[in-house]
Amino acid sequence: MFSGSATRKRRRAVNRGEMTKTTDTEPRAEMADLIARIGSDGDMEAFEQVFRAFGPRVRAYMMRLVRDPQAAEELMQETMMTVWRKAAQFDADKGNAATWIFTIARNLRIDSYRRSKRPDFDPNDPAFVPDADPTADQTMEARDDERRLHAALEELPPEQRRLLDLAFFDEASHSEIAKRLDLPLGTVKSRIRLAFNRLRATLGDRS
Amino acid sequence: MSIQHHISEELLLDYATGQLSEGWRIAVATHLALCPSCRRRLAVMEMTGGALIAEPVDEEATQEAASDESASWESLRKRLAADRAHTPDAERPVKAKASSQAGQTVLPEPLRSYVGGDVDTVKWRPLGRGAYHLPIETDDGTARVRLLRIPAGKPVPEHGHRGRELTLVLSGSFHDGDDLFARGDFEEADETLQHQPIATEGEDCICLAVTDAPLKFRSWLVRAVQPIIGI
Ligand SMILES: [Zn+2]
C-alpha cells in the first residue's frame, strides 16, 4: 500500500508518540473525531492532541513563506485558535481533518501575511450552481479518499512531488518554480498537470 | 447549456495554494460559483494541500522545537481562556441583494458584492461604439477588473494583447474563432494568443474582464506600436 520510503518514515515517526497520530490511517480518522469533540463539548484535551499533532506542521508551513520564527508561531497559533472556534462547523463523518486545517492555515496566510482580500464563492448564494451529485459539494471528501490520496502522493515521481511541495508551501509561481529547478516553464506546467491527473484518477476521476 | 471552457490547471492551483491576488481571484471564484466541475478539481487540490501539511515535519527541526512545544501550548491555552467569551462567527459580511425573482440572478457572489447589486442595478458607462463598461474597485494593484457589455454582433473593445487577461461570460455569448463562449465560460489569454472575441448576434454580451493593471502596460512598449483593435 505504501512505498518503502514512506513506511520507513512512518516507523521513525512511531518513536515520537504524537507524530503518528495523523500519519497512519486509523489515527487520522481519530483526528476527525477529536475535532468533533472540540466542536460538541469544547473538549480541551482533544484540542491539545490536535495541537500536538498539527501545531508543528502548521508552523513549518508558515515558516516556509514568512521566514520569521515569531511570525510563523503567531500564524500557527491563529490557525489553531480558528480550529477551536470553528470546530463545530467541521463534519466529522465526511470531514478530512488535514484538508480542513490546511484551508484554515492557507486562508490565514492570505489574510494576515499577504493582507489581501480573499473573495470567495458562496454556496448559499441564489446564483450558485450546485453539483448534480449532492455529496460533492460537502467539500471535504470521505476519509477513504484521504487515505487513497496519501498513498497516491507517496507514489508520485519525486520530481512531480517536489513541484507540488514548492507550489503549496513556498507559494512559488510556475515561473519561479521553473527558475528554481532550472526547467523550462512548459515542463513545469506539464508535470503539474500529470501530477493532478494521477491524483484525480486515484480518487475515481471526479472531474 | 453546460460550461465548455474551464479554469486552467495552473490558474486553479494558484487559487488553491493562495497565491492569486484579489482582482484575479474575483474571476476565478465567480467561475467556481457557476461550475461544479472546477470545484471538484479544487477539492482535490485542497486535499493535496492537506496531505502535504500532514506529512511529518523535518526531524531535526522537530527535535529543536520540541522544548518550545510546551511553551507554545501554554501560550495558546491562555489565549483560549481569554477567548471563551467569543461567539463563533457572529460577524458575517453583508451580501449584495440577489435579484428579486429567484433563479434570475445574473451575477453570482463574490462578483455581485463587488458590483453592489445584480446587473439590473449597474450604472453602465459608455466606451464608444455601443459598448459599455463598469470599472470595479479592488485593493489589487496588479489587476484591472471590470464588467463589459458588448452590443450584439460587435467585437469586444480594447483587445490589444498586452498581458494576462481573464474573461468570464455572465450573459449572452461571444465567439472567438471557432469557439463559442456562453454563461460561465472562462477564457484565459496572454500576449501570445491572437484572438478577437465578437459578441453573438441577437443579444448583448455581459462579461467580467480582468487584465493586467495599466501601469504594467508601460513595459510593453514594443507592443504599443501594434494596432489596437476596436477602440
Ligand atoms: Zn469550470
Which residue of chain B is at minimal alpha-carbon distance from A60?
Answer: B57
Nearest to B61 by CA among A25, A168, A16: A16
* A102 contacts B53? CB cut-off 8 A: yes
Grid coordinates representing B52 are 502535504
Give the CATH number of the domain where residue A152 resides. 1.10.10.10
At residue B58, the pLDDT reads: 65
| Beta-carbon contacts of residue B7 (< 8 Å; ≥ 6 apart) | B15, B28, B31, B32, B35, B38, B41, B186, B188
What residue type is assigned to position B53 of the chain? I
Residue A25 has pLDDT above 50, yes or no: no
Asked which of A112-126, B10-24, B216-230 is least confident by mean pLDDT, the reply is B216-230
Give a yes or no: residue B73 inside a domain: yes
In the predicted model, what is the mean pLDDT of chain B? 83
Give residue B2's domain range. Answer: 1-90+107-231
| Beta-carbon contacts of residue A132 (< 8 Å; ≥ 6 apart) | B36
Asked whether the beta carbons of B152 and B160 are under 8 A apart, the reply is: no
At residue A141, the pLDDT reads: 52
Asked whether the beta carbons of B171 and B199 are under 8 A apart, the reply is: no
Same-domain pairing of A111 and A30: yes
Give a yes or no: residue B96 inside a domain: no
On the 0-12 / 13-18 / 19+ scale of CB atoms within 10 A, B93 is: exposed
Chain B residues inside the 8 Å CB shell of A89: 89
Cβ contacts from A onto B, under 8 A: 229
Same-domain pairing of A97 and A154: no
Write the pLDDT tens digit of every residue in B136-173.
999 998 899 999 999 999 987 765 556 889 999 999 99
- What's the gap in Å between the CA of B154 and the closest CA on chain A? 27
**Sign of dihedral through CA atoms B185, B189, B195, B196?**
positive
Backbone Cα Rg of chain B: 22
Which residue of chain B is at minimal alpha-carbon distance from A31?
Answer: B54
Give the CATH number of the domain where residue B46 resides. 2.60.120.10
At residue A29, the pLDDT reads: 60
Nearest to B153 by CA among B188, B197, B194: B197
B19, B62, B83 ranked by CB distance to A56: nearest:
B62
Q: Spell out the long-range contacts of B174-182 with Cβ–Cβ below 8 A and sequence spacing 24 or more.
A: B174/B150, B174/B198, B174/B199, B174/B200, B174/B205, B174/B207, B175/B200, B179/B4, B179/B5, B180/B4, B181/B4, B181/B5, B182/B1, B182/B4
A172 or B224, higher pLDDT: A172
Whether omega for the bond prior to residue B151 falls within 30 degrees of 0, making it cis, is no
Asked whether the beta carbons of A24 and A11 are under 8 A apart, the reply is: no
Same-domain pairing of A112 and A187: no
Same-domain pairing of A182 and A111: no
**Sign of dihedral through CA atoms B33, B36, B41, B44?**
positive
Write the pLDDT tens digit of every residue in A112-171.
888 889 999 999 999 999 988 766 655 445 667 778 888 899 999 999 999 999 999 998
B10, B44, B56 ranked by CB distance to A199: nearest:
B44
* A57 contacts B57? CB cut-off 8 A: yes
**Mean pLDDT throughout B88-112?**
73
Residue A189 has pLDDT above 70, yes or no: yes
Q: Model-level pTM?
A: 0.85
Give a yes or no: residue B148 inside a domain: yes
Same-domain pairing of A173 and A97: no
Which of A22-26, A38-42, B220-224: highest mean pLDDT? A38-42
CA torsion A180-A185-A188-A191 (nearest 10°) is -160
Give a yes or no: residue A186 inside a domain: yes
Write the pLDDT tens digit of every residue in A66-103.
889 999 999 999 999 999 999 999 987 777 899 999 99
Best mutation target among A129, A133, A144 (most B Cβ atoms within 10 Å) is: A129
Asked which of A74-78, A202-206, B157-161, B225-229 is least confident by mean pLDDT, the reply is B225-229
Residue A17 has pLDDT above 60, yes or no: no
Nearest to A107 by CA among B80, B92, B49: B49
Same-domain pairing of A86 and A147: no
pLDDT band at A2 (very low <50, low <70, confident <90, very high): very low
Give the CATH number of the domain where residue A33 resides. 1.10.1740.10
Asked whether the beta carbons of B181 and B199 are under 8 A apart, the reply is: no
* B138 contacts A117? CB cut-off 8 A: yes
* A9 contacts B19? CB cut-off 8 A: no
Residue A109 has pLDDT above 90, yes or no: yes
- Distance (angstroms) between ligand 1 centre and the Cα of B34 equals 8
Chain B residues inside the 8 Å CB shell of A139: 43, 46
Same-domain pairing of A101 and A26: yes
How many folded domains does chain B comprise?
1
Residue B104 has pLDDT above 60, yes or no: yes
Same-domain pairing of A71 and A31: yes
Asked whether the beta carbons of A63 and A70 are under 8 A apart, the reply is: no
How many folded domains does chain A comprise?
2
Same-domain pairing of A75 and A114: yes
Give residue A204's domain range. Answer: 141-207
Three-state secondary-structure class, residue B230: coil
* B32 contacts A121? CB cut-off 8 A: yes
Give a yes or no: residue A126 inside a domain: no
CA torsion B156-B161-B166-B167 (nearest 10°) is 10
Same-domain pairing of A86 and A152: no
At residue A131, the pLDDT reads: 87
d(CA A74, CA B13): 26
Asked whether the beta carbons of B186 and B166 are under 8 A apart, the reply is: yes
On the 0-12 / 13-18 / 19+ scale of CB atoms within 10 A, B217 is: middle
